[in-house]
Amino acid sequence: MNKKHFIVKPGDRNAALCVVGINVTVLVSAADSKSQQVTLQSGDEGAGPPPHSHDWDETFYVMSGDVKFTCAGETTVCEPGTLVHIPAGTVHAFSYGADGGEMLEVTGMGSNAVEMFTALDREIPPGPLDVSKVVRVAGEYGVTVQL
């Protein structure tokens, strides 16, 4: 783990992962920080995860486009500049609006988000989704998908 400060400039980033239709660029991983992970996420209209929950807090900051969030059964369309905080264990989902969008995601201590995104990128090819495989892979990282 990195115990020094660090700066990640655009040219320093790894290529984005393709996570079930969402581009996920890892900015801070568990190797960099034990207290949080940070990703930059973007997607086209309709892209987004199904309702799911996990044992870590998650916060999103909408940077562009409109994003529809459903948290604990309540749906809100969020415009750029909106922050959405989701406590651990809360069932939630989101989908990008008509022109797609971009968000910054920060997950809290104990997060397996980056590891899960990496596994989904590796194991789920682009194209028609094998939903049962997505559910299995996500489950290996502590995510419960609500179908």
Written as six digits, the tokens of 53 are: 């929950």
- Residue 108 sits at φ, ψ, to 5 deg, of -85, -175
Dist CA 135 CA 52 (whole Å) = 10
Q: What is the pLDDT of residue 68?
A: 98
Pick from 43, 52, 140: which is nearest to 100 by CA? Answer: 43
- Residue 55 sits at φ, ψ, to 5 deg, of -90, 25
Residue 5 in domain: no
**Strand 37-43 versus strand 22-28 pairing type:** antiparallel
Residue 135 in domain: no
Any idea what the CATH number is for the domain that residue 122 is in?
2.60.120.10
Listed in sequence order, the residues at least 6 apart from 1 whose beta carbon sits closer than 8 Å to its beta carbon are: 30, 31, 32, 33, 34
- pTM comes to 0.94
Residue 136 in domain: no
Residue 18 in domain: yes
Range of the domain at 58: 10-126
Residue 145 in domain: no
- Helical ranges in 38-130 per DSSP H: 113-123
Residue 140 in domain: no
Overall number of domains in the chain:
1
Q: Model confidence over 44-94: pLDDT tens digits?
A: 999 999 999 999 999 999 999 999 999 999 999 999 999 999 999 999 999
Note whether 128 and 91 are within 8 A (CB).
Answer: no
Residue 43 in domain: yes
